[in-house]
Amino acid sequence: MRIKDGLLLCKVGDSSVVMATGSSMHLQGLTTLNETGEFIWSQLTTDTDEDTVVRNMCDAFEVDEQTARADVHAFLQMLQNADFLV
């Protein structure tokens, strides 16, 4: 899985905002991400899987696997519901 083409993560002040461009312009609204969301988003810029994202999150944030897996799964569900993933 990966982020759909045409979705960009932009810095606006201290915030990270997802913006739609090109063929993704049909997606409306802005999505803001916290530090964890930004990290997970960065993992999804190339094709990957949930287990890899969980492992990388454990390494980056020194969090236990159970917590990382729950957070990653919830975030991926949000992205799927927003039609951000392919």
Secondary element (H or E) of residue 75: helix 65-81
Q: What is the pLDDT of residue 26?
A: 67
Given a contact cutoff of 8 angstroms between Cβ atoms, the answer to whether 10 and 34 are in contact is: no
Q: What is the pLDDT of residue 84?
A: 92
Which pTM was predicted? 0.89
Q: What is the pLDDT of residue 28?
A: 67
Each residue of 47-81: pLDDT tens digit? Answer: 999 999 999 999 999 999 999 999 999 999 999 99
Q: What is the pLDDT of residue 22?
A: 77
Phi-psi region of 8 (alpha: psi -120 to 50; beta: other; left: phi over 0): beta
The candidate with the shortest Cα–Cα distance to 71, out of 21, 60, 31, 15, is 60
* Coil, helix or strand at residue 1: coil
